[in-house]
Amino acid sequence: MKRFGILYHPGLEEARDLAGKLGDWLSAQGVNSWQCSAWDEDKAKAQVAGSDLILSIGGDGTILHVVRIITPLAVPILGINLGRLGFITDLKADEALSQLPRLLDSGGWIEERAMLQAELQERSFHALNDVVVRSTAVRLVNLEVRIDGEVLTTYRADGVIVATATGSTAYSLASGGPILNPQSKEFILQPISCHLGLSHPLVLPPKSTVSLRLVNDDKAILSIDGQAELPLSNKQDVDVKLSPYLARFLRLNQPTYFYGSLWQKLRGKA
């Protein structure tokens, strides 16, 4: 590997310090690197091309920013965890410097994860975790849901989550959804606090398209990975399907790492 990008959580002093240490170590080995806040997406996007690996320093939320920055480029990401759970990250902060030599020797393996594409009025958005339509007030909204053009139901609920396998351990799980293997291409349709109608989650095949529509004048927003939000109006369609792009992660742990750490992370003991 000849060029590294280092993207970090700007609000964490530990993340900024570690970014500096990693950059200094790489420079001492004759390896080029660049650094940027993962929140400064426009500046970071201009530097991604030509990078062999992106080091993401923070937590899962930082990785969501990083994925949005590098899409559609297929640059692998290695997550360094300073957060609490770290479902997507691979290394702890105190492991990062000691593992860099292994990275330079092309160690590890690549895990590919499905993403979602949401379309709203000729605009497209890509999400690693989930696409959510939810109420902006303390009240229910009425959302008509179609799958591949056929009406499923009209949910009267706080909202609806469409989640990837990666997102199955995030908001969807908190709302009662199932956990999918992270490399699965299936995705989840999960109502949030459903009052009437179908309240159970559905696991949909990869070729499905889910269409969400507000059927009254309730106030709602479209949320992409919980970080980008857009207001929705009555009878606007949000079409959600698998993205043509994949998120790629460099893993240093064994391929079975997910099952070995799942219970610990769910208990908050990662």
CA dist 87 and 190 (Å) reads 20
* Cα–Cα distance list, 186 to 107, 154, 243 (Å): 29, 22, 12
* Helical (H) or strand (E) element with 67: helix 60-70
Residue type, 163: A
CA distance 155 to 189: 12
Give the CA count within 13 Å in the CB-facing half-sphere of 226. 14
Sorted by sequence, the CB contacts under 8 Å of residue 78 that are 6+ apart come out as: 53, 54, 55, 56, 90, 91, 103, 108, 249, 250, 252
Rounded to 5°, the CA angle 71-12-136 comes to 65
Q: What angle do CA 86, 87, 91 make, to 5 degrees?
A: 55
User: Is the CB of residue 68 less than 8 Å from the CB of residue 46?
Assistant: no
Active-site entry in 24, 60, 218, 237: 60
Catalytic: 60?
Answer: yes
Give the residue numbers marked as catalytic. Answer: 60
